[in-house]
Structure 1
Amino acid sequence: MPIYMDRHDIPEEITAAHVAQMHREDLKIEHLYGCKGMTYWCDEKRRTAFCLIQAPNKKAIQDMHNHAHGEVPHRIIEVEGSIVESFLGRIEDPEKSQKTELNIINDPAFRTIMVIDLRKVSFSGIDSEGLKEEILQLNKVILTSIEKFLGRIVKQKSDHFLLSFNSVTNAVLCAQEVYTNLSAISKDYNKYFQLNIGLHAGVPVTEKDGIFEDTIKMAERFCDIIHGKIVISPEVRELYESENRNIKLDHENIKSLNVGDEKFVNLLVDYTEKEWTNAAFNSNEFSKNLGYSKSQLYRKMIALTGKSPNTFIKDYRLEKALQLLNKNSNNISETAFNTGFNSPAYFSKCFMDNFGILPSKYVQNYAV
């Protein structure tokens, strides 16, 4: 039977005890609707509650809630139990609550989400086996820090981690340790890899269809456009500083965004994702459609990404080309045109300039 998570936006007068009573009322009549309540999360501070329920469909959950107490959820999404557990740490009531008459669980579902991206920046001077060994060594360091700071791994590849933290302080400290330790363990690390870390925080159910979808998307976008830094959202910065007696996050390796920066990141990536395959797409199109003059856009992108608009577009296309060559390794010309380059020759030159290897050699030696 499918598993769903719903969201209730609770009024000021509703407490964790009230939510526990509503949950108890659900359990009394859930069998009438073919449902099974697994657990719930209540956050009095943010005025939200989330229920995890096995049910035949969304309507059954709405009808059950309406019958039990009249508090119909504001949003319901389908989820996987294992993914929920990875993000939130449990899919059943905590043991301490099971022995009480009323399960009062004042446990927020709010999480800090971290994306770690080990981006390959050069293949010059290292063979495929050496690259694999380097990645293995870097992964060990990352995993040690994740465990130390109580992070939970939601998804993991050799060069990409999606993590969940209960504590924003632990998330920030973990990111800083990873950043520091990777550079320390390998003199060759910076030759071949660029470490990008994005941190954002949010709740599991929003208007999107996926669990934590908004939060994950934002953290990934931080990694995509601001390289070589730990990039944190305004909310992460504010939470960290409030938890740590207003200690400012002004470290050299941290890029702390303001609300305007975050809005610009979304505008930039939304438009780039829409147009990057179009060979005519250039900085003129950027400024026209993002609502900035050419000089304003240039200054904004240099300040945020360290790149001019045209360099940003070229590098974005090359990253996409690298991904395509891993999937379709036999057609370099097609990859060039599919990523917005006007000619295979120019594509090969740009690829060589960026990665230190021709695309044909990359396909022979590194494509997976």
Structure 2
Amino acid sequence: MNFEQLVTIITDTHQQLQQSAVKAVNQCQTVRNWLIGFYIVEFEQNGEDRAQYGEQLLKKLEQRINQNGLNDTLFKWSRKFYLVYPSFASLINNLATSISATMSHQSRNNDLMQISATVSHLLQNSDYKQENSISPEKLISSISFSHFIELMKIDNPVKRMYYEMLTIQTGLSVRELRRQIGALSYERVGLSGDMEYALTAIRQKIHPQTATDVIKDDYFFEFLNIPQQRALLLKENELETRLLDHLRDFIIELGNGFCFEARQKRILIGDEYFFIDMVFYHRILKAHILLEVKISPFDHAHVSQLYSYLNYYKAEVMEPDDNPPIGILLVTDKNDALVQYTTAGLDEQIFVSKYKLQLPTEQQLRDLILETIRW
């Protein structure tokens, strides 16, 4: 071993064990918060003097305990944590028993043993086994309490299960988890019919490297609240107006990195004016994105129009440090073979995607997700 090898092995050891220590601390905090919720619910149901506190219980606890971090907000989330994830009882029971067993006889914590006994009693008298769910061990070893707070905001248990799985499979940060929830990742996965494909696509969307990573196959505009009957009479300029009236939701749906520049962008080609429906700049790809919205199925003439716009931007607008512009054509339906033959051989990047004004049914989503979590 030389000096450089010594530096490398010490650095690697430090980083690996530090990561393990952080993970262990996060798991201990999650267990602590579940137990706090357990204590609170037990007191609310069986406490000798519970009537004296009523709705002020959590605030009184904060004042009496008076420790940094142990506050009314944490107690509320901990209480909900216990109620939403009762299946953690078996895991907590095993953990409490294990910790107690490692203590000497003199120092053994009676309170800890009481926890184990109480939870064991709950397990014997209640059915905490949840079919078609992710195991408590997998959840608590892979998801932080900050993630659990976002997950607990979801009332639908199947939907919550999907985002649990998504967090585990893709390593979402808390911010990315919020974004996936806001972008209706759960609702759109029902259309793919292939969970592995959907998860791979989501990983690419979180950290896009190419235009293919950025563009989705399907877009949902359910936030426009357009009834199915009204959709049949919708005009293109009306759809554009509605999308821009809901610009925040629209950009969330488009994905990470989109910055809006213009609507009906006027360009002069020769002696004739043309208008591009919408222009965005993608801050990660460093490229303009020209978006055309059609209220009809795909037609090869649409590509010719968009192709001319991309060539114009490449020649007249693109800055030296920009990447070539990208075109997105949004249509109500498409013939994949026709799209393939129409766009084959084009120098410019043109993507054809479908948009929908309605979401898939709850049963479609439930069947797909329950099939996937049986791992």
TM-score normalized with structure 2 length = 0.32
Task: Indicate the structure (1 or 2) with the bigger Cα radius of gyration.
Answer: 2
TM-score normalized with structure 1 length = 0.32
Tell me which protein shows more helix as a share of its residues: 2
